[in-house]
Amino acid sequence: MPDFDVLPPRTRTKKISVLVILSYAFDWLIMVVVGLIGYFLGNVTPNKRPFSLMDNNIAFPVTEHETVNSALLLTFNAAVPIGVILIVALIFVPGRTVPEGTPSSLIWKRKLWELHMGWLGLALSLISAWIITQGMKNLFGKPRPDLLSRCMPDVENVMKYVVGFNPMFTTNATTATYNGQLVSAKICQNPDTAFLDDGFRSYPSGHASSAAAGLIYLSFFLASKFAITFPFVPQETIASNSGAVTAFPSRLNRRNGPAASLSANTAYEGMRSRSVSAVDDDPSSPLDPAVVKQIGVHNTTVAAVRRQAAAPPVYLLLLAVLPFFLAVFIASSRWFDFRHHGFDILFGFIIGTINAYFAFRYYHMPIRAGGGWAWGPRSRDKAFWAGLGSWSYASDKQHWLRPDSEEEIQGLRMTGQGIELGGLRQRGMSPVVKPGDIHVHHHDRDESSGATLEPHENERI
Residue 298 and residue 242 share a domain? yes
Contact criterion met (CB below 8 Å) for 220 and 358: no
Residue 428 and residue 341 share a domain? no
Stronger pLDDT, 42 or 409, i.e. the higher one = 42
Crossing angle of the two packed helices 18-41 and 104-140, in degrees rounded to 10: 30
pLDDT in tens, 35-76: 999 999 988 999 999 999 999 999 999 999 999 999 999 999
Among 14-28, 158-172, 433-447, which range has the highest average pLDDT?
Answer: 14-28
Q: What is the pLDDT of residue 119?
A: 98
Q: Mean pLDDT of all residues in the chain? A: 77
pLDDT at 412 over 90: no
pLDDT at 139 over 50: yes
Confidence of residue 438 (pLDDT cuts 50, 70, 90): very low
Residue 211 and residue 134 share a domain? yes
Q: Helices (DSSP H) in 179-288: which residue ranges?
A: 193-198, 206-211, 217-225, 268-281
Residue 174 lies in a domain: no
Residue 129 and residue 257 share a domain? no
* pLDDT, mean of residues 224-231: 90
Stronger pLDDT, 457 or 84, i.e. the higher one = 84
Residue 56 and residue 28 share a domain? yes
Choose one of 321, 347, 363: the last residue of a domain: 363
pLDDT in tens, 152-211: 999 988 989 999 876 665 545 555 678 889 999 999 999 999 999 999 999 999 999 999
Residue 159 lies in a domain: no
Give the residue numbers spanning the domain of 291.
Answer: 235-306
Confidence of residue 127 (pLDDT cuts 50, 70, 90): very high
CA–CA gap between residue 312 and residue 435 (Å, rounded): 44
Residue 12 lies in a domain: no
Choose one of 280, 306, 332: the last residue of a domain: 306
Residue 136 lies in a domain: yes
Choose one of 265, 286, 306: the last residue of a domain: 306
pLDDT in tens, 318-343: 999 999 999 999 999 999 999 999 99
CA–CA gap between residue 438 and residue 421 (Å, rounded): 5
Q: What is the pLDDT of residue 381?
A: 83
Q: What is the pLDDT of residue 293?
A: 67
Percent of the chain with pLDDT over 90: 47
* pLDDT, mean of residues 115-120: 97
Note if the bond before 323 is cis, omega within 30 degrees.
no
Residue 414 and residue 323 share a domain? no
pLDDT at 424 over 90: no
Residue 352 lies in a domain: yes
When divided into structural domains, the chain yields a total of 3
Residue 259 and residue 205 share a domain? no
Residue 167 lies in a domain: no
Note if the bond before 94 is cis, omega within 30 degrees.
yes
Residue 214 and residue 277 share a domain? no
Residue 377 lies in a domain: no
Q: What is the pLDDT of residue 131?
A: 96
Residue 52 and residue 130 share a domain? yes
Q: What is the pLDDT of residue 264?
A: 40
Helix (H) or strand (E) run with residue 426 in it:
strand 426-427
Residue 108 and residue 62 share a domain? yes
pTM: 0.71
Any idea of the CA torsion for 210, 212, 217, 222, to the nearest 10 degrees?
130
pLDDT in tens, 398-407: 445 445 444 4
Residue 331 lies in a domain: yes
Stronger pLDDT, 15 or 257, i.e. the higher one = 15
Contact criterion met (CB below 8 Å) for 355 and 347: no
Residue 76 and residue 30 share a domain? yes
Residue 125 and residue 254 share a domain? no
* pLDDT, mean of residues 135-151: 96
